[in-house]
Structure 1
Amino acid sequence: MDIDYLPRILNARVYDVAIETPLEPASDLSRRLGNRVFLKREDLQQVFSFKLRGAYNKMAHLTDDQLERGVIASSAGNHAQGVALAANELGCRSVIVMPTTAPQLKVDAVAARGAEIVLHGESYTEAFARANELMREQDLTFVHPFDDPDVIAGQGTIGMEILRQHGRPVHAIFAAIGGGGLISGVAAYVKRVRPDIRVIGVQHVDSDAMARSVAAGERVELADVGLFSDGTAVKAVGVETFRLVRKHVDDILIVDTDETCAAIKDVFTDTRTLLEPAGALAIAGMKKYVAETGIEGETLISVACGANMNFDRLRFVSERAEIGERREAVFAVTIPERPGSFRRFCELVGDRNVTEFNYRISDESDAHVFVGVSVTSRAGADEVADIFRADGFETLDLTDDELAKVHLRHLVGGKSPLASDELLLRFEFPERPGALMAFLRAMQPHWNISLFHYRNHGSDSGRVLVGMQVPESDRSTFMVFLDELGYRFWDETENPAYKLFL
């Protein structure tokens, strides 16, 4: 059934708990992008996210009997806070099932609003399944985070406010997509009132169920999702949101972690506010759109949809923001081990800011230098590399090499003549107790760990680099071990940076 969302949005009950958030100009982003950039500041809602709009609108339409029995929801955090707030306002019981991977900040915020919290599973999908079981067992009413017309209509009031606040021409509105509730509501309103405005969705590269579904022409369920952008980590989009996105959304852009971190920094520069990764996706997508299309002088609006950032994640964000903004380039440079070579190399670097420099002697004829240099663009990285090569220094650009950025910068000079039969693998361990022991117990006792590197970045998973001495005759057994272990991994044994430094 094709629902008419215009009257639903116009009559949505959201302002008992939500504020009409400001549409603020982003002066620094506008200057850098050559367009008029505005941020719709949904991070300023009392739960620091837009989610209370849809949750309250849904619950405000429940019957007295439904409210008396109570509600249940599944959420990684922001929708949970919206449901808990609405339950307080409407005087009803609320039960929230959250995945065990939900940021503690969000768990604490939900508990502070009086909701009963159940932690279950490692993803939204598992939490959703448990919530449905409890709904049937306790006769509760389910408040879906995105696939419900009343929830979609509540989020659609953001689009209504944007057009009321900015009556002049708008080229495009950008919004993050997880399950699709936000962009469905915004697009349903905007395309009815101002169909000339482009509505563009943005997804994180490891949680792109909507983009894949639209490309396939049917809903696609992902086998797993990354949790860096936990607010959009959804394996399968909604039936109604899929329909609305196909009908109203002009395009979906995919951004990676570095681009998202750079967008968080961009918004901080303009507003002194720290968005969570999901909250910054729209800004990252907007920047990508400008870079790909080359548009200038247009009005672009991004929905800054959430600011529930775990503090311990800031270290990871700050480290990756410079690379995401293409302000740092990382190189491995080989220079002769003879007097004057190092001085010549420094002369080539010139007055550029050196962000990192690692070196350890390991060969009588050549020295391998790991160096980070500040640049203003990807072209700047190519320019620096060309300068090194033109002077006869063999140069490997590692700016886009995940192994180099996460691990090798801390391990330069680690070659060992004892590491025979060594395989190098990069793992993502779940950030939970026992993950390492599970790995060790699954190993064959005669396989020796020859390298192990881990650093807590405040990310959704532990980045671990492991060197293991596995005899050639055991390689097939080793592949079975990796398959049964179930951790995401990348074989880096042939990585050129590994061969150079380790």
Structure 2
Amino acid sequence: MTDYIRKILDARVYDVAVESPLDPMPRLSARLKRPVLLKREDLQAVFSFKLRGAYNKMSGLSPEQLARGIVCASAGNHAQGVALGAQRLKARAVIVMPRTTPAIKVDACRARGAEVVLHGDTFDEALEEARRREAADGMTFLHPFDDPDVIAGQGTIGMEIMSRHPAPIEAIFVPIGGGGLAAGIATFVKYLRPQTKVFGVEPDDAACMKAALDANEPVTLPSVGLFAEGVAVRRAGDETFRLCRQHLDGVVTVDTDAMCAAVKDIFDDTRAVSEPSGALALAGAKLWAAQNGGTGTLVAVSSGANLNFDRLRHIAERAEIGEQREVLLGVTIPEKPGAYRAFIAALGPRAITEFNYRHAEGAQAHIFVGVNLPGGVPEKHELIAALSGSGYGVQDLSDNEMAKVHIRYMVGGRASGLPDERLYRFQFPERPGALMKFLDRLGEDFDITLFHYRNHGADYGRVLAGISVPEAERARFDAAIEALGYPCVDETGNPAYRLFLGNGTAA
């Protein structure tokens, strides 16, 4: 341990890194009823902590090694640290990245002059190719985590946490891919303050360090999930395993929804947008706090912010479920006029976040509905019990991955026997009661045959509704819609509707 402490204290990281702040998270702290601090490694020049270990290793290479060039394998953040270090040291860098690496990370490496090779679908496949090039071309291989100098560079984060927060810290949470960051931080923290707990955090579908600790040796996982690609490593390092086994207090695993919720927490408190692996530690801290209670200070390392913008759609969809403040339900209701309104009334004053329905032949209809739950899990159980007690068939789909990713967008299809169906696109005010006002205005004279709504965080909701309007009732229906006052567009002639949902074919 003493050798590593010396290495950490002597690490050359501040040629390229800054001492990142330890920011309070007031909103999350209030919810957890304990102080929560975020170590902001997303503020580094490459938006990740990885430049610390990479540069510390590279700065110790001989001129001959630098002249032969550097090769590495990385899912993105280590690569950017190597690219920056090579640019600073005027060395050639060849970086092998999985084809699944977000474009933002690939482009950032190329912008710093690195030669990027896309190979394989996982980090381990990229690692094999990097090792092959090391042997074939005589380049110096720079491991992303299983190297003492890299571990020492990452350990400077632990040193900074200790110096910036001299008061007691109950626990520090660190994301784990291969384990270099956790090994470095835990080694330093346990040397200086052995009473402070240090936990690694991994996705439950990429928990290579937990598997290694359980087996008492590094093991190779058959596969890993790629949602948090920054930590998608199948096998922990030998040296990182040795240090983590000695110094970590345990490993916490979390699911995709928990990471999405943590991304939202970071945004709410800092206005920063984290990548999934960057929010991993905070997700673990929240889970641990919920399971263990207490009031002591928690620190989570925000390890990176290299996120493709288009991934925000998926993260936003899953964040509320991850916070357990939204429930997704499959509900069976009678297929008859008035049943739709009765079901909405049964939900009470709760805000509806999503509603998917299509008319079906037969006596029963099936609805996919999302409901906001300020009261969390207890309120979910209360709602399901109330609906079941009212005679509705209810299934909780909140943990059903296929339902969340696919089925919610596929509810519906063509429906026969609806000659009077008209399709309208509405803008509802985004407030409780807006849907009930709509139903009250229609009354029971006009049957709803299709309904789709999803909360998008705006001040108005976008609604697509199919309504059975006989020709003789068209004037009365138009008057009811006008009196409602919601902006409305008649989409009955829209070719997309006619092709996928209506009775005819697209014009």
> How far off is 1:22 after superposition?
0.4
2:380 is aligned with 1:384: no
> How far off is 1:294 after superposition?
2.2
Q: Equivalent residue for 2:392?
A: 393
Q: Equivalent residue for 1:369?
A: 367
- Structure 1 distance, partners of 2:50, 2:146, is 13
- Structure 2 distance, partners of 1:272, 1:95, is 34
1:443-498 deviations in whole A, cap 9, x for unaligned?
A: xxxxxxxxxxxxxxxxxxxxxxxxxxxxxxxxxxxxxxxxxxxxxxxxxxxxxxxx
Q: Equivalent residue for 2:52?
A: 53
What root-mean-square deviation, in Å, do the aligned CA atoms of Structure 1 and Structure 2 show?
1.5
- Structure 2 distance, partners of 1:404, 1:136, is 47
Segments of 4+ moved more than 4 angstroms:
414-417
Q: Equivalent residue for 2:140?
A: 141
- Structure 1 distance, partners of 2:310, 2:410, is 23
2:392 is aligned with 1:359: no
- Structure 2 distance, partners of 1:373, 1:94, is 51
Calculate the TM-score normalised by the size of structure 2: 0.80
Of structures 1 and 2, the larger Rg is shown by 2
Counterpart mapping for 1:50-449 below 5 A = 50-295=49-294, 297-376=295-374, 377-414=376-413
- Structure 2 distance, partners of 1:358, 1:118, is 44
Q: Equivalent residue for 1:442?
A: none
> How far off is 1:69 after superposition?
1.6
Q: Equivalent residue for 1:444?
A: none
SS in structure 2 opposite 1:308? coil
> How far off is 1:138 after superposition?
1.5
> How far off is 1:379 after superposition?
2.0
1:20-45 deviations in whole A, cap 9, x for unaligned?
A: 00001011110111110000000000
Paired residue total? 415
- Structure 1 distance, partners of 2:137, 2:367, is 63
- Structure 2 distance, partners of 1:90, 1:364, is 72
1:157-176 deviations in whole A, cap 9, x for unaligned?
A: 00000000000010000000
Letter in 1 for 2:317: E
- Structure 1 distance, partners of 2:227, 2:88, is 31
Letter in 2 for 1:286: A
- Structure 1 distance, partners of 2:312, 2:252, is 25
> How far off is 1:416 after superposition?
9.5
> How far off is 1:414 after superposition?
5.0
Letter in 1 for 2:145: F
Counterpart mapping for 1:466-481 below 5 A = none
> How far off is 1:66 after superposition?
1.1
Unaligned runs of 5+ in 2: 417-507
Which shows bigger deviation, 12-21 or 66-75? 66-75
Q: Is the 8 A contact 2:69 2:92 kept in 1?
A: yes
Letter in 1 for 2:56: N
Q: Equivalent residue for 2:486?
A: none
- Structure 2 distance, partners of 1:239, 1:343, is 61
Letter in 1 for 2:7: R
SS in structure 2 opposite 1:279? coil
Letter in 1 for 2:335: E
> How far off is 1:415 after superposition?
9.2
Q: Equivalent residue for 1:33?
A: 32
Q: Equivalent residue for 1:463?
A: none
1:77-97 deviations in whole A, cap 9, x for unaligned?
A: 110110111111112111111
Letter in 1 for 2:267: F
> How far off is 1:412 after superposition?
2.3
1:305-341 deviations in whole A, cap 9, x for unaligned?
A: 0000011111111111111111211112222334543
- Structure 2 distance, partners of 1:294, 1:36, is 12
- Structure 1 distance, partners of 2:129, 2:356, is 49
> How far off is 1:68 after superposition?
1.8
Letter in 1 for 2:387: F
SS in structure 2 opposite 1:277? coil
Q: Equivalent residue for 1:10?
A: 9
Calculate the TM-score normalised by the size of structure 1: 0.80
Which shows bigger deviation, 12-21 or 320-329? 320-329
1:126-160 deviations in whole A, cap 9, x for unaligned?
A: 11111111111211111110000000000000000
